[in-house]
Homo-oligomer: A and B are copies of this chain.
Amino acid sequence: MKYSFLNDYSEGGHQNILDALLSSNLEQLEGYGEDKYSLSAAEKIKKKLNCPEADIHFVTGGTQANLLCISSFLKPYESVIAAQTAHIEVHEAGAIEFTGHKINTYLGENGKISPEEIQYAVDFHYDEHMVVPRLVFISNSTELGTVYTKNELENISKICKKNNLYLYIDGARLGAAMLSKNNDLKFEDLCKYADAFYIGGTKNGALIGEAIVIINPELKSYFRYNMKQKGALPAKGRLLGIQFDVLFSDNLFFDLANHANKMAQKLANGLKAKGYSFFAEPITNQIFPILPNEIIQKLSKHFEFYVWSKFDENNSVLRLVCSWATKEEAVDAFLNFEALTKH
């Protein structure tokens, strides 16, 4: 059995979550997310965000959160601005376009779009033959494992406000971003800068579920109608509510992200010590080391991971992902793998 560094959704959910599901199991609760656990989870999230006026909705996945929010927030002729590496652009099978909206993509750097690119997008589109860019989509942490600093997010937020653009954050790995050594954002800063975002549960210890947070009052109304219409309002909403109620009890959500980051950091430091370099700075739970192909081949007999891209004739970029459940022994085993050490 190979140990997997493929992703952060290979295991089930944190034990506390399973315990809570068990202990509440036979209670008769309201359907469709109006049960006491969902309400409590929403309260806890709002408290952690220090944002009592936010609206919180729980859904079953990231693509669902993205398509639901974007299609709810935009008018038919309005478009999304995103980096070319954005999940919605590459890895959602055209979900946003299916709901009717164009994505205007720009090169970005390290998975991050710049304020200049956003301004360019706005300026480029100026009459009724073109779409109207209206929402900036960013991921934090990004698809390359990088994070937006407070300063970067502030600048993006400013350019958005100046141009009447909504700022939406895909937080599939928001926990990892918040706990990154490079992060200088407070959790509650998100509410200052973004109009809406989602907090990823699936990739941070939940069995399933993401929490959508809507800050901008313009975007709140009739949201549950849009949820129902997109098949995003499960009858047993308790399943989502209970999990977020647990994740936002004490500090569990952040503790789990911290563990994932720490494991990835240990991997990164070990590889650096052996002289390997990285495709993008390794600062969250996804890291992208560059390794010789012959070593990769040997590693692949003992570990699972994605070969992300070719680097040059003899080397490739790997993606290694750690999760809330990654075992330190596995990290050690990887680092102690003979072929790596001999390098």
Binding site for B on A (CB under 8 A): 3-4, 6-7, 9-13, 15, 18, 21-22, 24-31, 60-68, 71-72, 75-77, 79, 90-95, 97-98, 100-103, 128-132, 202-203, 207-208, 222, 224-236, 238-239, 325
A337 and B222 alpha carbons, distance in the complex (Å): 40
Check B26 against A21 for contact (C-beta < 8 Å).
Answer: no
Is there contact, CB below 8 Å, between A25 and B13?
yes
- Contact present for A97 and B101 (CB under 8 Å): yes
Taking a contact as CB atoms under 8 Å apart, the answer to whether B94 and A102 are in contact is yes
Q: How many whole Å from A291's CB to the nearest CB in chain B? A: 22
With A7-B31, A26-B12, A207-B239 as contacts: A95 and B230 at CB distance below 8 Å: yes
Which residue of the partner chain B has the closest CB to A240?
B208
Least Cβ–Cβ distance between A87 and chain B, in angstroms? 9
User: Which B residues lie within 8 Å of A7 (CB)?
Assistant: 31, 235
Name the one of B6, B27, B202, B225 contacting A234, with C-beta atoms under 8 angstroms. Answer: B202
Our pick among B6, B15, B94 for the contact of A229 (Cβ within 8 Å) is B94
Cβ-defined contact, B31 with A12, below 8 A: no
Are A129 and B93 in contact (CB-based, < 8 A)? Answer: yes
A65: chain B residues within 8 A (beta carbon): 231
CA distance A65 to B234 in the complex (A): 12
Q: Is the CB of B229 within 8 A of A77?
A: yes
Question: Within the complex, what minimum Cβ distance (angstroms) separates A56 from chain B?
Answer: 16
Q: Are B10 and A25 in contact (CB under 8 A)?
A: no
Q: Are B128 and A228 in contact (CB under 8 A)?
A: yes
Cβ contact of A208, chosen from B75, B203, B226, B239, cutoff 8 A: B239
Question: What is the minimal beta-carbon distance from A156 to any residue of chain B, in angstroms?
Answer: 23
Pair B9/A93 contact, Cβ less than 8 Å: no
Report whether B98 and A235 are in contact in the complex, using a CB–CB cutoff of 8 Å.
no
